[in-house]
């Protein structure tokens, strides 16, 4: 890995914020679990009704279900749109993988390292430890 000495202030701030987010992960996980629990309370209720749960000092609201649209006659739509259909049609890679067997996939998919890079941050050893590690490394190379 190439170490680039640019943006040291931002790197330290990113590390501090990253550590703070990790400390709050259990809180975020619990919030998500409770959100799902409240959502599940009314899974079987009419889709056009909203609900509220009284929490004494607060009220949790559960909205009505939003409208979702689904294409139901794709072949008819393809005939209606003609060549434009193929420029508009989207197929998820998950659906593709579920319907095309592995040996045949390479005929339809190109793959390359073009995705977004993952950014993470790690703490460096303390300065003294860093110097000791460097000295140990130099001694091993000399031996």
Question: Does residue 125 form part of some domain?
Answer: no
How is residue 111 written in tokens?
């793959």
- For residue 49, tell me if it sits in a domain: yes
> Using CA atoms, how far apart are residues 17 and 9, in angstroms rounded to an integer?
12
Q: Phi/psi of residue 60, each to 5°?
A: -95, 125
- At 92 the pLDDT is 87
For residue 17, the enclosing domain spans 8-110
Structure tokens at 72: 């139901």
Contacts by residues 3-9 (CB-CB < 8 Å, ≥ 24 positions apart): none
List the beta bridge partners of residue 52. Answer: 61
Residue 64, C-beta contacts closer than 8 angstroms, at least 6 positions apart = 47, 48, 49, 50
Task: Specify the pLDDT at position 141.
Answer: 60
126 domain-assigned: no
Number of compact structural domains in the chain: 1
> Which pLDDT does position 30 carry in this prediction?
94
Q: Flag whether 101 is in a domain.
A: yes
pLDDT at 37: 93
**Report field, pTM of the whole predicted structure over 0.85:** no
Q: Rounded CA gap, 81 and 87, in Å?
A: 10
What pLDDT, on the 0 to 100 scale, is given for residue 81? 92
Return all residues near 37 (Cβ < 8 A) that are at least 6 apart: none
Please state, in angstroms and rounded to a whole number, the distance separating the CA atoms of residues 67 and 26: 32
Q: Is residue 96 part of a domain?
A: yes
Alpha carbons 11 and 40: distance in angstroms, whole number? 41
**Integer Cα distance of 99 and 72 in angstroms:** 19
123 falls within a domain: no
pLDDT lower than 50: segments of the chain: none
pLDDT tens column, 30-55: 999 999 999 898 888 888 999 888 88
């Amino acid at each position: 890995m190439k170490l680039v000495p640019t943006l040291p202030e931002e790197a330290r701030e990113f590390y501090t914020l990253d550590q703070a987010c990790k400390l709050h992960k259990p809180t975020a996980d619990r919030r998500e679990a409770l959100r799902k629990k409240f959502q599940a309370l009314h899974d079987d209720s009419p889709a056009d009704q909203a609900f509220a749960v009284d929490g004494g000092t607060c009220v949790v609201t559960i909205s009505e279900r939003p409208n979702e649209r689904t294409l139901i006659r794709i072949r008819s739509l393809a005939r209606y749109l003609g060549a434009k259909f193929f420029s508009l049609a989207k197929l998820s890679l998950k659906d593709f993988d579920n319907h095309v067997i592995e040996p045949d996939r390479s005929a339809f998919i190109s793959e390359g390292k073009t995705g977004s890079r993952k950014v993470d941050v790690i703490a460096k050893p303390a300065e003294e430890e860093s110097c000791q590690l460097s000295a140990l490394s130099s001694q091993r190379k000399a031996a």
